[in-house]
Amino acid sequence: MADPNDQNQPQGDNGKPEADPATKARRRFLIIGVVSLLVIVALLFYWRSTFTEDTDDAQVDGNLYQVSSRVAGQVVKVDVEEEQFVHAGDVLAESELDKLEQRIKTKKDREREEAEAARK
């Protein structure tokens, strides 16, 4: 015997009763949410694997170059970017010139005083 409730529900193509609109909306929302979550996880994985380095043995190969200045002082501005190609003699950074100029002045004053003392 057929259930009288089954006769009142609209029938689908395969003969099964169709789900009500609230169930369809809930199912659609769930599917969209799962797909969105999978896309976000895939994008995070792509970003993590593309823009960060990862090593198994914690060793990185590269070239190291000793860079030093002729005077001591604080670096005020760096004029190059990472991975930028530079030529010999290019200015790489600017240092605090006030202290350097003061040291040069003091040294010249000291030399002048020593010269005057030597003349006497």
pLDDT digits (tens, 9 = 90+) for 22-47: 888 899 999 999 999 999 999 999 88
Residue 49 lies in a domain: yes
Bridge partners (DSSP) of residue 75 are 95
Nearest CA among 14, 26, 15, 22 for reference residue 6:
15
Residue 66 lies in a domain: no
Mean pLDDT of all residues belonging to the chain: 79
Q: Which domain holds residue 107?
A: 75-82+89-119
Contact between 111 and 91 under an 8 Å Cβ cutoff? The reply is: no
Per-residue confidence (pLDDT) for residue 74, from 0 to 100: 79
Residue 114 lies in a domain: yes
Extract the runs of DSSP E, i.e. beta strands, from 8-116: 75-78, 93-95
Residue 104 lies in a domain: yes
Tell me what percent of the residues of the chain surpass a pLDDT of 70: 78
Q: Flag whether pLDDT at 12 surpasses 70.
A: no
State the average pLDDT over residues 66-95.
Answer: 82
State the average pLDDT over residues 50-72.
Answer: 72
Residue 62 lies in a domain: no
Residue 9 lies in a domain: no
Residue 4 lies in a domain: no
As for how many domains the chain has, the answer is 2
Residue 58, token pair as written in the block: 């914690």
Distance between CA atoms of residues 92 and 53, nearest Å:
26
Residue 58 lies in a domain: no
Question: pLDDT confidence of 1, banded at 50, 70, 90?
Answer: very low
